[in-house]
């Protein structure tokens, strides 16, 4: 298309105008950085102001709202719950994804892998709002699908699922694992497909290594980059989880399932403490930034090798 326009310009006696190649990439990059980091800087600025109602007040208050949060029991509960999400949402998902990906590689029939991969990818296509709504129906103590099935099997002491403050967070994390499992399997499978790894697996098979030994001693050590990418993505997504908690429990019962993201919304919009809500947003960003440092260091090492 560009070549045609150039010929037309020459035909009509006009000079062809060219745009330097670096501008094609530089201008969108600058715009992206301004939008991304501009909002981060603005959010930090608001967190140091005194915005406590619908009328903005940009009076500088320093770290007042950060100290305010540290003295709030709800904030401490949020941190504990987010730690549960970071551990129980990431470790089981990663481990199950590795085993499922390996089982798909061992599938005896060529078509089995594609069908199974399609099935496990369906949850990824669903929005968290839809996922949360569906699972809230499944978890209903009286008419939920799970307790109905248990009742038909003769188990008439139904689970309370997300209605029990002691276990509600764990049932929510199960939804997260279910949603991200297919995505995780695809990332791990892509790490299996390198030529070098395939040759090492064949060599281990020739040497008589069992499938399990091959997985732990050959495959897993050689797909560390893929595992690190997956863990980094899962850590960030589990840290900023909001939709599942908001749709299924709204942070309840009480504040037993509350997380930093839901607290941020409640603080900023329901309690009209915009500066305190912005402070929670800054804390979420800092934690996420720290969590991706290992992946960044690993990626830079690979880049300069």
As for how many domains the chain has, the answer is: 1
177, burial (CB in 10 Å: exposed 0-12, middle 13-18, buried 19+): buried
Q: Is residue 133 situated within a structural domain? A: yes
**What tens digit of pLDDT does each residue of 21-49 get?**
767 778 888 888 888 888 889 999 999 99
Q: Is residue 265 situated within a structural domain? A: yes
Q: Is residue 17 situated within a structural domain? A: no
In this predicted structure, which of 61-70, 107-116, 150-159, 273-282 has the lowest mean pLDDT? 107-116
User: Is residue 2 over pLDDT 50?
Assistant: no
Q: Is residue 37 situated within a structural domain? A: no
> What average pLDDT does range 54-82 have in this prediction?
91
CB burial string 96-131: b at 16+ within 10 A, e below: ebbebbbebbeeeeeeebeebbeebeebeeeebeeb
Q: Is residue 6 situated within a structural domain? A: no
> What average pLDDT does range 112-135 have in this prediction?
83
Domain span at residue 112 reads 73-304
∠ Cα 199 201 204 (to 5°):
110
User: Is residue 67 over pLDDT 60?
Assistant: yes
Q: Is residue 281 situated within a structural domain? A: yes
pLDDT at 114: 74
**What tens digit of pLDDT does each residue of 236-245 get?**
899 989 999 9
Q: Is residue 23 situated within a structural domain? A: no
**What tens digit of pLDDT does each residue of 212-255 get?**
888 888 888 888 888 888 998 899 899 989 999 999 999 989 99
pLDDT at 7: 53
Q: Pick from 261, 246, 93, 81: which is nearest to 165 by CA?
A: 81
- The CATH number linked to 94 is 1.10.3720.10
Q: What single-letter DSSP state applies at residue 16?
A: P
**What tens digit of pLDDT does each residue of 259-280 get?**
999 999 999 999 999 999 999 9
**What tens digit of pLDDT does each residue of 75-89 get?**
999 999 999 999 999
Q: Is residue 9 situated within a structural domain? A: no
**What tens digit of pLDDT does each residue of 163-217 get?**
999 999 999 999 999 999 989 998 998 888 775 777 787 788 777 778 888 888 8
Residue in the structure block whose two tokens are 């939709």: 243
DSSP 91-116: HHHHHHHHHHHHHHHT-SSHHHHHHH
């Amino acid at each position: 298309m560009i070549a045609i326009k150039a010929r037309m310009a020459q035909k009509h006696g006009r000079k062809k105008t060219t745009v330097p190649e670096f501008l094609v990439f530089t201008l969108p990059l600058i715009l992206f950085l301004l939008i991304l980091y501009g909002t981060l800087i603005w959010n930090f600025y608001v967190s140091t102001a005194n915005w406590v109602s619908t009328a903005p007040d940009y009076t500088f208050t320093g770290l007042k709202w950060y100290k305010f949060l540290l003295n709030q029991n709800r904030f401490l509960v949020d941190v504990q719950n987010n730690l549960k999400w970071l551990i129980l949402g990431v470790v089981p998902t990663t481990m199950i994804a590795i085993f499922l990906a390996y089982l798909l590689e061992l599938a005896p029939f060529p078509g089995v892998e594609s069908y199974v991969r399609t099935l496990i990818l369906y949850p990824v296509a669903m929005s968290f709002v839809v996922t949360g709504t569906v699972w809230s129906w499944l978890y209903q103590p009286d008419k939920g699908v799970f307790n109905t099935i248990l009742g038909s099997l003769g188990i008439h002491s139904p689970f309370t699922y997300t209605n029990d403050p002691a276990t509600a967070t764990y049932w929510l994390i199960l939804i997260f694992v279910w949603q991200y499992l297919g995505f995780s399997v695809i990332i791990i499978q892509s790490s299996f497909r390198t030529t070098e790894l395939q040759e090492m697996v064949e060599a281990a098979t020739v040497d008589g290594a069992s499938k399990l030994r091959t997985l732990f001693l050959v495959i897993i050590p050689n797909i560390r980059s893929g595992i690190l990418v997956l863990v980094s993505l899962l850590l960030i997504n589990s840290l900023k989880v909001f939709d599942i908690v908001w749709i299924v429990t709204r942070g309840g019962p009480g504040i037993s399932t509350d997380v930093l993201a839901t607290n941020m919304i409640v603080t900023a919009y329901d309690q009209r403490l915009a500066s305190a809500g912005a402070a929670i947003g800054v804390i979420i960003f800092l934690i996420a930034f720290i969590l991706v440092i290992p992946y960044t260091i690993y990626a830079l090492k690979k880049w300069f090798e």
